[in-house]
Structure 1
Amino acid sequence: MRWRFYFILIVFFLVTGVLIGRLVYLTVLDHPFLLKQGNARSLRVIQTPAYRGMILDRRGDSLAISTPVDSVWINPKDFPDTRDNILPLTKALGISVAQMHDLLKRYSTKEFAYLKRGVTPDVAQKIQVLAIPGVYLQREYRRYYPTGAVASQELGFTNVDDQGQEGLELAYNNWLAGEPGEQRVLKDRYGQVVANIAELSPGKPGRDLNVSLDSRIQYLAYSVLASTVKEYDAESGTIVVLNPKTGEILAMTNYPSFNSNQRVTKKNKSMRNAAETDMFEPGSTMKTFSIASALDSGKYTANSIIHTAPGYFKVEKNIVRDEENNGDITVTQVLQKSSNVGVTQMTLSLPPEHFIDLLRRVGFGDQPQDGFPGESAGKFFYPQQWHPFALATLAFGYGISITPIQLAQAYEIVANDGLHCPLTFLKRDTAVTCSRAMDEKAAKSMLAMLESVVTNDGTGFKARLKDYRVAGKTGTAYVAGQHGYNWRNVNSSFVGIAPVSDPQLVVAVVIRKPHKSHYGADVAAPAFSAVMSGALHFLNVPSDKLTSGQVSV
């Protein structure tokens, strides 16, 4: 029996010696290898997202701001694909079991796949509580737009990676986007960061963007526009507000709109900034520039007499008509009564190049260059030789397509004594260099004549304001279709300037295909009046003296 005791004792010492030897080898001789392997499983270099700069209106109010959110990702190789893990995970994320199985199948050979981006804090907390191996949280940023649908087409939006996709977010993405940093962290077995070890490279936050928009005027314009489109059962509408002295765009809004806080998966019509992209024939708002060209020629003055009887005028084989027989009227009255016959006669009495050159100088046919991506130049084709009827229709706003921002820009020149100040979406803190686009004398005469339109004798009397002198022009243009003009569809517009004594604002209103009324005087002029009045009061612009030809309303 004694030999058995010694045998067991020897075996015990041999096993103990082997274990001690292995322990010494692992902890002393092979320590660097083990440390490397341990770090490989717990130390990670992660990218820290950069904070995207805010978009602020001219008064410092936030229009776009990035808020921290968590995204959920998975390492399919570490995820235990069991019913007990999949059911609570899909329930917390709001996805189907089928979607989960499809994702695991598609990324079976990968070590990274997003399950859901930008989840709410409540969902993130549920994921943390579940503590499922292979499922992790990652801190990111998501864009939030306090104004919602009010300025969505202008501001645009970012994608899930917080990169600009449309609008000002896209135009100034390089300015707004920061540079991500890198950090070495210690993670637990669930992939959660338990300690920050070292900052390898600091992230660089994006820069704030101060834009020219005034959120007060933007809200007002959107509200007025929405109610006008609904009241007249219109297809859509646009309002633009400019400062003619600086070229700053104070408001630009379209209706219908969309809420940029709600992620969209496909583009639709309401996402377009129609003020910059959608073209229309301007109709009678073009008469301002037909007459300006006539004044600039020196052949006509504001008091020159134009014979418009009997209310129509034959051009080649076509007839140009007025709403009524206005008889002998002055050039001012041609504009005041919006006479097609009058502007046709004046335009055809001058060389075509004179009129065309003025249209080009006020911006028709060229992009506004205001910095908005996708801005349209409109359509302004002119042949080597103009036929009289083509020139006649151009004089009262047909045969040319422009955008609402181009219309506002052209009237900015009239408001600014013939000077064009480049348009911008950025807040200007320094003086801007403006260039001559129209003769100063002609521009001053046009402003005075446009004021006569907003009187009891003019077509724009519904655009009057109680405390300010207003100048402006109505427009009503039939919409062209595949088979010619559809006489049941029109675009109604009004563009105006105030105060006349010292113009501070230009407001352009375009209502597309209204059905309960057609005329710009009835549809667009009241909307102009509401926006212009509110905007002038927001800006504390002092009232100017009313002329005897205007009345308070």
Structure 2
Amino acid sequence: MKKVKHNNTKTKEISGDMPNIKMRMSVVTMFLLLCFGVVAVRAFSIQVMGTEFYTEQGDMRQIREVSLPVPRGNIYDRNGEPLAISTPMVSVGVDPSKLINQISRLGQLAEVLSLDEEKLNELVVNKQDKKFIYIKRRIPPYMADSVKALNINGVEFRQEFKRYYPTYEIMPQLIGFTDANDVGKEGIENTYDKQLSGTSGRKQVMQDRKGNVIRDVKEITEAQAGEDLYLSIDRRLQYVAYKALKTAVHSRKAEKGAAIVMDAMTGEILAMASQPSYNPNNISGESIAGMRNRALHDMYEPGSVIKPFTMVAALLSGKFDEDSLIDTTPFEVDGYEFSDARNYGEIDMETVLGKSSNIGTAKIALSLEKEHLWNTFKLFGFGSSTNSGIVGESIGNIEHYNQWSNSRHANISFGYGLQVTTLQLATAYAAIANKGRWRSPTYLKGNIKQDKAIIDPDIARRVSLMLENVVTEQNTGKKARIEGYSVAGKTGTAIMAEKGGYSNKYIASFVGYAPAKEPRLIVAISIVDPKGDEYGGSAVAAPVFKTIMQDSLRILNISPDLENETQNFKAKEVVNG
């Protein structure tokens, strides 16, 4: 039997390689472990150590700086009744670049917001360079919630405020309104826009990818709300003036009109109404005609309501007193004939005013120096601003006396050849009522302006007595009488000027005060182009004065000053009824 030989050499070679293989495996294992370790450390770093860093980086990509809108200050009447308030609303805007790939969803958005889908599509397509465009301003929060429920990326929401006027068309010409950016336009809103607006703030917020605010980050600039304003206006009296004026303008088919109620002693405007009017909560193209404040913007030749100031000039001159006799026979000046409705013959100065004689007034004026008459009118504020504080107030017009012809001299004395506003007339009559002291009117409660003496108190008293005589049964102001109260005032009927001469239209006016013995209220009325057979101040404006004054005296609980004459008044009403 042969012995089998083992290959010891090969076995030795294999045995010799084993350590190398083990070493290599160890190196590979260690390398893999090292790699796993690095990955683990990196993962730990990202998940634990780097959380704050990456959170901050993520936040930075979503933090935005936004405006902090503030509510506009409210406007109240003198008794705290709201005249203009701001209510929270939501405005909707879009980022066109985010919506371009969601055109199919614009129909839903347009439907909820009552928008034209085609126009919304055009806006998104054509405004790709814009990051934000408003598509609907100031909608109620419930409507905004409906939009949010659509969950459309690129639709954003901003808080804003909407102005609301609780008195609707009763006083928009005085209060004014705000535009789409909440900026005051016209009236009080415009004049006091800076105080009412306040100052918007700025803050940083975190938003999600859809633009929704997740949380506030920090305030950058503090917001300051607008200031509230308390006006001198009494909303109750404003309604009385508005209703009486509107009724008269409509019933007489007049073109327009104005009415003012003023505190005789303080100059505070208690009511200021204009016709036509409009609703400031729903402004349209048709609203423009009603936006003009007729009481302080419209200038016109006043007619006979200017005559009391000619009487003041006459008394100041020392050439006349109440008993001075004036011949009212028609006469000519510079080829122009002056006449009255009838020839009153020779009458005293008080009767000249009571009968509203143009001839008598002109003859008195022609006896005075032109400069003297002009100076007297200027003393009472004609041709100058009343400084009431409202932007855009008209100043009227009265030519310098150097430009007057003799006929102009005569015409100006009874209200032609000069232009005034209803506010100027109310302010001038207040000076007579206030014992010869003139004061600028005001629209702010308690903002009483310094008065100044312009004529002797005794002359003011004497002219006031003449004005009381006007409001008697036998004179032109009889329809302004109020049972139980002494009333002083003057009617006016002026032919309206037109290009090249005068038209066949009239302005009817009445300005007066009560109680005449201790004046509390001034009421001024002007009505333009009343239609019908009766168009004068006595028939058209005096009854409006009576309604407004009577109701205002009652509302303010101002006691009658002629209680002993009530029975006599009633008896006359029955006889003449």
- For structure 2, which runs of at least 5 residues remain unmatched after alignment? 1-24
1:492 aligns to 2:508 (yes or no): yes
Q: Distance in 2 between matches of 1:244 and 1:404?
A: 15
Decide whether aligned partners of structure 1 residues 78 and 14 sit closer, same or farther in structure 2, where only a CA change above 3 A counts. farther
The TM-score, its normalising length taken from structure 2, stands at 0.89
One-letter amino acid of the structure 1 residue matched with residue 443 of structure 2? F
Aligned residue for 1:89? 109
RMSD of aligned C-alpha atoms? 2.5
User: How many angstroms does 1:94 deviate by?
Assistant: 1.5
Query: Quick check: 502-511 or 542-551, which moved more?
Result: 542-551
Aligned residue for 1:478? 495
1:447 aligns to 2:464 (yes or no): yes
Aligned residue for 1:467? 484
Q: Is the 8 A contact 1:185 1:194 kept in 2?
A: yes
Q: Distance in 1 between matches of 2:39 and 2:548?
A: 88
> Structure 1 residue aligned with 2:417, among 383, 387, 399?
399
Q: Is the 8 A contact 2:374 2:401 kept in 1?
A: no
Aligned residue for 2:392? 374
Normalized per residue, the structure richer in helix is 2
Q: Is the 8 A contact 1:80 1:133 kept in 2?
A: no
> Structure 1 residue aligned with 2:344, among 310, 315, 326?
326
1:120 aligns to 2:140 (yes or no): yes
Give the secondary structure class of the aligned counterpart of 1:268: helix
> Structure 1 residue aligned with 2:375, among 340, 357, 368?
357
1:422 aligns to 2:422 (yes or no): no
Q: Is the 8 A contact 2:442 2:449 kept in 1?
A: no
Q: Distance in 2 between matches of 1:102 and 1:15?
A: 56
Q: Which has the larger radius of gyration?
A: 2
Query: Quick check: 506-515 or 265-274, which moved more?
Result: 265-274
One-letter amino acid of the structure 2 residue matched with residue 439 of structure 1? D
User: How many angstroms does 1:425 deviate by?
Assistant: 0.7
> Aligned residues, how many?
542
Q: Distance in 2 between matches of 1:548 and 1:35?
A: 89
Q: Distance in 2 between matches of 1:277 and 1:385?
A: 25
Decide whether aligned partners of structure 1 residues 110 and 13 sit closer, same or farther in structure 2, where only a CA change above 3 A counts. farther
1:58 aligns to 2:78 (yes or no): yes
Aligned residue for 2:562? 545
Q: Is the 8 A contact 2:195 2:226 kept in 1?
A: yes
Q: Is the 8 A contact 1:244 1:421 kept in 2?
A: no
What does 1:217-296 align with in structure 2 at a 5 Å threshold?
Answer: 217-264=237-284, 268-296=288-316
1:456 aligns to 2:473 (yes or no): yes
Decide whether aligned partners of structure 1 residues 538 and 50 sit closer, same or farther in structure 2, where only a CA change above 3 A counts. same
One-letter amino acid of the structure 2 residue matched with residue 422 of structure 1? S
> Structure 1 residue aligned with 2:172, among 152, 155, 165?
152
Decide whether aligned partners of structure 1 residues 347 and 325 sit closer, same or farther in structure 2, where only a CA change above 3 A counts. same
1:536 aligns to 2:553 (yes or no): yes
One-letter amino acid of the structure 2 residue matched with residue 180 of structure 1? S
Q: Distance in 2 between matches of 1:18 and 1:85?
A: 48
User: How many angstroms does 1:428 deviate by?
Assistant: 1.2
Aligned residue for 1:507? 523
One-letter amino acid of the structure 1 residue matched with residue 206 of structure 2? L
Q: Distance in 1 between matches of 2:38 and 2:245?
A: 87
Q: Is the 8 A contact 1:408 1:508 kept in 2?
A: yes
Give the secondary structure class of the aligned counterpart of 2:524: strand
Query: Quick check: 133-142 or 432-441, which moved more?
Result: 432-441
Deviations 1:38-87 (A, max 9, x none): 11343333221112211111111111111100000111122244343110
Q: Is the 8 A contact 2:99 2:124 kept in 1?
A: no
Query: Quick check: 199-208 or 227-236, which moved more?
Result: 199-208
Give the secondary structure class of the aligned counterpart of 2:569: coil
Deviations 1:107-161 (A, max 9, x none): 2112111111101233212111111100011111111111111110101111222
Q: Distance in 2 between matches of 1:18 and 1:264?
A: 72
- For structure 1, which runs of at least 5 residues remain unmatched after alignment? 1-5
User: How many angstroms does 1:548 deviate by?
Assistant: 6.5
Q: Distance in 2 between matches of 1:75 and 1:333?
A: 77
> Structure 1 residue aligned with 2:153, among 133, 151, 172?
133
Decide whether aligned partners of structure 1 residues 386 and 547 sit closer, same or farther in structure 2, where only a CA change above 3 A counts. farther
One-letter amino acid of the structure 1 residue matched with residue 525 of structure 2? V
Aligned residue for 1:3? none
Q: Distance in 1 between matches of 2:285 and 2:363?
A: 53
Aligned residue for 2:22? none
Decide whether aligned partners of structure 1 residues 32 and 107 sit closer, same or farther in structure 2, where only a CA change above 3 A counts. farther
Aligned residue for 1:342? 360
Give the secondary structure class of the aligned counterpart of 2:377: helix
User: How many angstroms does 1:409 deviate by?
Assistant: 0.9
Deviations 1:363-392 (A, max 9, x none): 100011100000011121225253110111
Aligned residue for 2:55? 35
Query: Quick check: 104-113 or 507-516, which moved more?
Result: 104-113
Deviations 1:453-488 (A, max 9, x none): 1111110100110121101100010111123101x2
